[in-house]
Structure 1
């Protein structure tokens, strides 16, 4: 009997261990976010023959991922951890992979606008180049399913170079249901051709292949700018990228030897926009010893990122100076006053 009892007990422990392991891999219909890190931008961005600085500009991150049982429970009790339903982060049809692709593309766009702002301010020339279109989502049951996927770049359609997103949309819209088109696609440095049969899409009622897309752009600049951010997504580093690039282009060191963190999107006309998780980014910047933090002011709105940043800095007893900015020029003006 004792032997049978030991065997039974051993099986129970194996089952329990298997359940514990499986729980770590089972994804719940939630995302969990937490304070990330404050990264020194000069480690990721280099202007050819650019100037060095005594201080540091830093961009801040939030850790975001699909929840399992353990991360969900921890987020319930941990400070500055947040839980989001799937539809608060991505659409129902968007997969985790497509969400990641979209985040990386937004990072690319933030780099483009950062270059444009910094080069214009420093008196250098930078030009936009269109490289085709970039696929963000492929609809289920559409002509593109199985042939195209998120992250693909469509370079040509029926032998015609895609000069803009509008050119592609107009060309496809001029076709009929049942027409075939050949697209030249770049995927992970490999070029291939795909033939698709167009149809009238149920969601839009228009002729198409069933993809969501954005224009794939890059910048031609002299001196050249190189980024090393392949695994980092989102648009929120735009402002801080602009400041780092501008600082490398100019002879004056705008860091003044300080650790300067911040966050905020940036548009081509230099406007700074709000982002998510600024309270978590304040925590990350404080842990890295940042002395100054630039926060989107949203033109003085009562619930602005700046106000949230102020409250968070007070709650964690941080000595960081929180600076409100509405534009790239606001940040530069503040840094000039420091000196």
Structure 2
């Protein structure tokens, strides 16, 4: 009898544990990720080698279950975010992942442009169509297009930018149909979709997709950036530094292990990111000696100030360097004494 009670109790505990791990809460949990060397990820054709290394830093982000939520509550450097803070309204998991991958792709393009222009090398773009980020529920594109589709023709016409695409569609009327030629999973398809007026934009018609330019950058020497499993725009600054370093004779690492984070735009401006505290921990564990952090113009709540506070709290000797632009990072590296 006692054995039956023990077995039954054990099974109940197992069921509760499994159920708790499978049941998702309306939150995301982020925790320290990794710091990864960029030289194996980025390769400029006939690029110069470096003695030290540039590293990107990541956070681990996932949906919260009961246990991860409770652990995050107890861990100082794990953060809990409501779903609506991470995902846009009506955005599916697939659309969120597509958006993150696109943000990474845009970050790579900006980093390449900044690095090549800094090295005095021309940059050109080839427009490939519009990239579907999300589909608005209740609009005509629902169940016909999906996040990740690349639309490259409208009514048989090709355009040079998403602006031209939108302008063409908006000049048509409510109820008119357009034929879209698109690529999905390397298969070309065509679909006819009626236009409909947006509820929140009277007078404006469309099929109901969020879109961005899909374009290819053309540079010589060629650069390859392998980031298939990395999402988001936060590695842009470090991408630019690694690419630039491979393009130039001088080794800007000076033999140091250099980590950092921050978005970058085509003008070389460095922008803030989320999870700076977790990235400091990841960089410290990887042995980084220098960490570039977005300064945000010296704002009181800047990434740099949060990074400095975390570095002090964990007792690292890693040097936290504030930057607002790519050129400021280069100037700092130029002033370093080589190892």
TM-score by length of 1: 0.95
Alpha-carbon distance in structure 2 between the residues aligned to 1:200 and 1:271: 37
Give a deviation string over 1:8-53, Cα, whole Å, max 9, x none.
Answer: 7655644542332232122110010011110101111111111111
State whether structure 2 residue 23 is matched by structure 1 residue 18. Answer: no
Residue correspondence of structure 1 range 59-208 to structure 2 within 5 A: 59-205=56-202, 206-208=204-206
Alpha-carbon distance in structure 2 between the residues aligned to 1:118 and 1:217: 18
- Kindly state the Cα deviation for residue 318 of structure 1 after the two structures are TM-superposed: 0.4
Listed as ranges, the gaps of 5+ residues in structure 2 are none
Cα pair distance change 1:73/1:193, threshold 3 Å: same
Give the 3-state SS of the residue equivalent to 2:267 in structure 1. Answer: coil
- Kindly state the Cα deviation for residue 287 of structure 1 after the two structures are TM-superposed: 0.4
Contact 1:26 1:68 (C-alpha < 8 Å) held by counterparts:
yes
Give the 3-state SS of the residue equivalent to 1:65 in structure 2. Answer: strand
RMSD of aligned C-alpha atoms? 1.5
Alpha-carbon distance in structure 2 between the residues aligned to 1:38 and 1:70: 26
Alpha-carbon distance in structure 2 between the residues aligned to 1:148 and 1:51: 44
Contact 1:157 1:181 (C-alpha < 8 Å) held by counterparts:
yes
In structure 1, the residue matched to 2:282 is 284
Alpha-carbon distance in structure 2 between the residues aligned to 1:22 and 1:259: 43
Alpha-carbon distance in structure 2 between the residues aligned to 1:13 and 1:144: 50
Alpha-carbon distance in structure 1 between the residues aligned to 2:40 and 2:197: 48
Contact 1:86 1:92 (C-alpha < 8 Å) held by counterparts:
no
Contact 1:133 1:162 (C-alpha < 8 Å) held by counterparts:
no
- Kindly state the Cα deviation for residue 188 of structure 1 after the two structures are TM-superposed: 1.9
Alpha-carbon distance in structure 2 between the residues aligned to 1:323 and 1:55: 17
Alpha-carbon distance in structure 1 between the residues aligned to 2:252 and 2:311: 24
Alpha-carbon distance in structure 2 between the residues aligned to 1:204 and 1:25: 40
The 10-residue stretch of structure 1 (146-155 or 202-211) with the greater mean CA deviation from structure 2? 202-211
- Kindly state the Cα deviation for residue 304 of structure 1 after the two structures are TM-superposed: 1.1
Alpha-carbon distance in structure 2 between the residues aligned to 1:173 and 1:297: 40
Give a deviation string over 1:280-333, Cα, whole Å, max 9, x none.
Answer: 111100000000001111111122111111111110000011111111000001
Alpha-carbon distance in structure 2 between the residues aligned to 1:142 and 1:254: 51
**After the TM superposition, which segments of 4 or more aligned residues of structure 1 sit over 2 Å from their partners?**
5-20, 201-206
- Give the count of matched residue pairs: 336
Listed as ranges, the gaps of 5+ residues in structure 1 are none
Contact 1:33 1:64 (C-alpha < 8 Å) held by counterparts:
yes
Contact 1:55 1:255 (C-alpha < 8 Å) held by counterparts:
yes
TM-score by length of 2: 0.95
Give a deviation string over 1:210-262, Cα, whole Å, max 9, x none.
Answer: 11111112210111111110110111111100000000001111111110000
